[in-house]
Structure 1
Amino acid sequence: MDAGLRLTPLKTSEIFLLKLLADYALFTRGRIRQKKMVGRCAVNKSACFLTVSLALLTVLLFNSLTYSDSTNFENNLGDMDVSYGIVIDAGSTGSRLFLYSWTSPSTDELISVRAVNDHNGSPVVKKVTPGLSTFGEKPEAASAYIKPLLDFAAQFIPEPKLGATPVFIFATAGMRLLPIEKQQILMEHLRKELPQMTKLQILDQHIRVISGRWEGIYSWIAINYMLGRFNLSKSVDKSKSESFEERSQTALSGEKMKRPKTAGMIDMGGASAQIAYELPLGHSDAATDGQENVQLLNLGCRDDDSRFRFRLFVTTFLGFGVNEGAKAYEKLLWKRLNSKGQAENSTETDNGKGDAKVPTVVDGCLPVNMLKLSHPQENYDQFVRKGNGNWNSCVSDIVSLLFESNSKCSPTKECFFNGVRAPPQLSLSDVELYGFSEYWFSVDDVLSLGGKYEHDKFEQKAKEFCGQPWAVIKRKVKAHFYQKADSERLETQCFKSAWIHAVLHNGFHVDEIQHHFQSAFRINGQEVQWALGAIIYQMRYFPLFAESKGSQPKQKSRIRPLFSAGPSVFYFLCVLSLAALLIRILWKAKQRQISVAKRRDNGKIVKYWRLDDELSNSP
């Protein structure tokens, strides 16, 4: 059966209903056999049969309402106006496949992209481990590692479209750590071998290592696409005009177009952090265009069309993700421990392995009395961190790490952390910002404050958690108090909450009160993935291609075949027909019963008349 026309199995309740109907039919049939009236029996048999048939078709009708009409085949496998594309995010711990479909309404709009869903309504996503970078020493095995992902995606793509479905394999963090020569050898193996393994479209330029900068750009595109910030409008409701800005350039047609302001994003990962936001139209081009972190971006299919042209500030902070930040913080503690003043005030603690006692340092980034054995690097000796829950002290230490290498500019609002110069005369406090990854997990898993960010509430809850004795936290875990957090999250929550706070307010100078920041995991119910932004950008010229091939969507005829709307319509018409027939048969049966009753009554009257005549004529 065509996967796009699959009917869901009958539920237990539906099977039980059918059994009751069948039992009722058999019972009625037995009652009918006991009757002597042949004509009435025939009517009852017909009515019984039609009743059971009607009930059966009704059940099938409701069952057919679950007819698979999800995005996996874009409502119809034969719809030649739907295109498909695959993005593989080859990260450091694994490679994830995402399957998208899109239509091209016109050359005046962006392609309309949707995630493809499987038969259960979930996005078609598959992950394989370990990361692609682990094949640096055996690149010949990389293609066999990727092939299961492609085979999986091919199940959800119509056979005629496999050869026209592009595959983008973009390697990220893990691959960037490999030497350039090993990166190139591994990529070449994929480019040469994958075309022999699949019918999907494999092009050399679609397989490469991308920079963290482009990861940020793709994320920015995905977020704003999901928010609907690329939608154009000729006129705007004045009551909502604050959320719109008019483009300085006009459309190709000469019309003035308006669009919503775009949102910025901060993505806090484990190894790096990224930020991307649009520079406003009134911002001086001369002041920013020379900066290495300013990117000119056009999402439209025509280079001379300014409606989808953007100027972004985008950069990545390698080594400033929460995990790398934790490593840097441990080194800071070690340096303090070995300084003269700290060494005199330090104590020693048993490491729990029967070895010699190791030095202990008081740590504000751990809950009260929590002990953690640390070994920052091979050339560093072990030491024990003993928490005192001083969250403010933890934030202060992190701030010193953020601006440790600010040799290019002073730690003022002219510069972000790590010496990155900020766009002049523009405050991030005035930008609508979304925080992802650790900006969600560190805010929501333990503190349950995900969503709109309120600084005072966040700071209070962060301090309360860190100020608890570790023994109390463990008792709360046994009582299922922190249901969204695992043990690793609880152990690192103090540090991570302080880290994201310091980066946001000290590193990016976002005001604690006057801001437009919120943390997010999903937008409009969908998880945000930079892969969506990648497919939108990479296929931006598709409308021109579709127009040149004459495959633009045509207006569909109003006269449609009976079954074009799916099996539900067919079942519905059957139910209506049988219902009408059943009503007609029952009406005839009722009329026949009335007629028989009248004949009986007339017979009785005639009989009474005859009896009366006989009595009258008797002597």
Structure 2
Amino acid sequence: MAEIGIKVKVILLGAAVVTVTLMTLIALILSLANHQTLNRPYLTQYGIVLDASSNHTALFLYQRLGYKENETGIISQKLSCDVEGGGISSYDQNPPAAGESLKKCLDVAKAAIPEGQWKATPAYLGATAGMRLLGLQNQSLANRILEEVAKTIQSYPFDFRGARIIDDKEEGAFGWITINYLLESFVKHTFEGFWIHPKAGKIVGALDLGGASTQISFTPIDPVKGPNSTSNFTLYGYKYEVYTHSYLCYGMDQALKKLQAYLHKTAGASSAVNNPCYPKGYIVSVTLAELYNSPCVEKPINFNPNAKVTFSGTGNSPSCLSSIENIINLTDCALSPDCGFNGVYQPPVNGEFYAFSSYFHIFNFLGLTPKAELTQVLSTIETHCNKDLSTLVVENPSINVKTLRDYCASANYIMTILLKGYKFSSNTWNQITFEKQVADVDIGWTLGYMLNLTNVIPSESPGAVTGVVHSQWAAQTFFIVFVLFLSLLIIVILVLFTRLPSTA
């Protein structure tokens, strides 16, 4: 009987151990159910902007986190793609081809965006001065081209937001936003991982030179006098007033066309005309229809579109500069001396400026980027302009002749609008930096456009998930396994103990 009593006590003790063990397991399981709330990381969002300029179209794919910093997105450029062919305005004889030309770059963007985010990716196309000029000539044709490019973009699984001609003030102001964002003038990421507004943020001006127009944008020191000459933005919680003006018909391509037309008219509409901006040895013949095919140049009296004129280069830099100054109105100004050119009001230039697009490309060819002293710039341009065609070809075998012939006129045009148009001087010249990119991002209006749009695009809520911290989960799992193992071991020992033979 004593032996039976001992075994009963042992069994009861084992049952108690098992009960405690099971209760411990239940408590641990319940503790696992006490999940912590964890924030998910913000999802990377994407945006596409197509820049349909006068010369070509480029696609820019931007990425940003779903949150905003003081109501403005934090954006970076993921990739860019140059569309083959000319600008969409060059498809005036075949509008559907304008849309077809975009497909290669749209395919590149599609491949770079995760499939699950295609439908959430906004896509925009903004056309600039080339389409503005076409609209002046034939608005219905300009609309047809926009319809064709819109049709192509809509065939992709993106959130198409429209194809339109952006106005001249937007183009200049958005370029200003881009350059200041890239220079961290609006917002800056600290070493500790925070975004802050730099108290000493340096706001710079923007100088853009395209094919059909040129823009200047900056924050003036004094109140602006001219009506409709400022744009107002709220970026990262701060307000900015920006003077901006775009000169239609004064982009590089149109300026060169105006120069040819001026030389033709001053030569008495002769069929043989000297061009001091072309290098010696360069000769080209064009029809008057080709010469006067732009609304930026006025056709002569008794215009014969089939007549031809031959231009012969003389390579004379002073004469080239003088001719260029004659295609720009540098005198008429109702608010003198506060004027740019063509009678347009402009406050005095203020602070540092970044010059991009054709400014950069021309000066980069001449070895004058990102900065050079004014005396060096002037002497370099004169030296280049005085070279004959054969010398230029030998020195630049990889550049086609048509491009080489225009560097002299282009450089002198740049100096004319900067020094005599915008009124930069020997004292302020060193405030201009000629660049194509900042932080590996192209300078232009498209990034500024996306940044401005983020003020109206709602920010994404990251949401929350429940769970346990990984270290806590690992510790609890180990303890559960250990208790289970220990419990099983005790049960096995107890079973074996109860089966031991009696010693009595």
Residue 393 (structure 2) pairs with residue 393 (structure 1) = no
- Of all paired residues, the percent bearing the same amino acid is 24
Unaligned runs of 5+ in 2: 1-39, 191-195, 293-302, 473-504
1:333 aligned counterpart, secondary structure: helix
Q: Give the deviation of 1:334 after TM superposition.
A: 2.1
Return the TM-score normalized by structure 1: 0.59
Q: Deviations over 1:318-365 (max 9, x none)?
A: 1112221122222222222229xxx8xxxxxxxxxxxxxx5443x432
Instruction: Return the alpha-carbon distance in structure 1 between the equivalents of residues 321 and 468 of structure 2.
Output: 65
Residue of structure 2 aligned with 1:180, choices 127, 135, 139: 139
- Summarize the alignment of residues 335-374 of structure 1 with structure 2, pairs less than 5 Å apart: 335-338=265-268, 358-361=271-274, 363-368=275-280, 370-373=282-285
Q: Which amino acid aligns with 2:341?
A: F
Q: Which amino acid aligns with 2:157?
A: K
* Alpha-carbon spacing, 1:79–1:171, altered in 2? closer, same or farther (3 Å): farther
Instruction: Return the alpha-carbon distance in structure 1 between the equivalents of residues 362 and 72 of structure 2.
Output: 35
1:260 aligned counterpart, secondary structure: coil
Q: Give the deviation of 1:451 after TM superposition.
A: 0.7
- Summarize the alignment of residues 213-232 of structure 1 with structure 2, pairs less than 5 Å apart: 213-231=169-187
> What is residue 51 of structure 2 aligned with on the other side?
89
> What is residue 165 of structure 2 aligned with on the other side?
209
Residue 172 (structure 2) pairs with residue 258 (structure 1) = no
Q: Which amino acid aligns with 1:415?
A: C
2:48 aligned counterpart, secondary structure: strand
Unaligned runs of 5+ in 1: 1-77, 117-122, 235-254, 344-357, 562-619
Residue of structure 2 aligned with 1:327, choices 242, 245, 257: 257
> What is residue 227 of structure 2 aligned with on the other side?
291
> What is residue 536 of structure 1 aligned with on the other side?
451
1:453–1:519 CA contact under 8 A, matched in 2: no
> What is residue 442 of structure 1 aligned with on the other side?
362
1:270–1:324 CA contact under 8 A, matched in 2: yes
1:81–1:553 CA contact under 8 A, matched in 2: no
Q: Give the deviation of 1:421 after TM superposition.
A: 0.9
> What is residue 111 of structure 1 aligned with on the other side?
73
Instruction: Return the alpha-carbon distance in structure 2 between the equivalents of residues 139 and 382 of structure 1.
Output: 29
Q: Deviations over 1:371-428 (max 9, x none)?
A: 4445534637544444443312222222222117x54538x542111111112xxx32
Instruction: Return the alpha-carbon distance in structure 2 between the equivalents of residues 391 and 526 of structure 1.
Output: 35
Q: Which amino acid aligns with 2:48?
A: I
Residue 244 (structure 2) pairs with residue 314 (structure 1) = yes
- Summarize the alignment of residues 481-496 of structure 1 with structure 2, pairs less than 5 Å apart: 481-482=395-396, 485-496=399-410
Instruction: Return the alpha-carbon distance in structure 2 between the equivalents of residues 397 and 137 of structure 1.
Output: 34
Number of matched pairs: 409
- Summarize the alignment of residues 436-515 of structure 1 with structure 2, pairs less than 5 Å apart: 436-445=356-365, 447-474=366-393, 477=394, 481-482=395-396, 485-515=399-429
> What is residue 304 of structure 2 aligned with on the other side?
379
Q: Give the deviation of 1:273 after TM superposition.
A: 1.0
Instruction: Return the alpha-carbon distance in structure 2 between the equivalents of residues 397 and 538 of structure 1.
Output: 43
1:100–1:114 CA contact under 8 A, matched in 2: yes
Q: Give the deviation of 1:512 after TM superposition.
A: 2.5
Q: Give the deviation of 1:552 after TM superposition.
A: 7.0
Q: Give the deviation of 1:490 after TM superposition.
A: 2.0
2:178–2:447 CA contact under 8 A, matched in 1: yes
Q: Which amino acid aligns with 1:551?
A: P
2:46–2:121 CA contact under 8 A, matched in 1: yes
Larger % of helix: which?
Answer: 1
> What is residue 214 of structure 2 aligned with on the other side?
273
2:362–2:411 CA contact under 8 A, matched in 1: yes
* Alpha-carbon spacing, 1:319–1:553, altered in 2? closer, same or farther (3 Å): farther
Q: Give the deviation of 1:501 after TM superposition.
A: 0.7
Q: Give the deviation of 1:545 after TM superposition.
A: 3.2
* Alpha-carbon spacing, 1:261–1:397, altered in 2? closer, same or farther (3 Å): same
2:243 aligned counterpart, secondary structure: strand
> What is residue 419 of structure 1 aligned with on the other side?
343
> What is residue 432 of structure 2 aligned with on the other side?
517
Residue of structure 2 aligned with 1:433, choices 334, 353, 360: 353
Larger % of strand: which?
Answer: 2
Q: Deviations over 1:200-256 (max 9, x none)?
A: 2124xx33221232122221111111111112699xxxxxxxxxxxxxxxxxxxx99
Instruction: Return the alpha-carbon distance in structure 2 between the equivalents of residues 158 and 272 of structure 1.
Output: 37
Greater RCO between the two (CA within 8 Å, min separation 6)? 2
Q: Which amino acid aligns with 2:391?
A: V
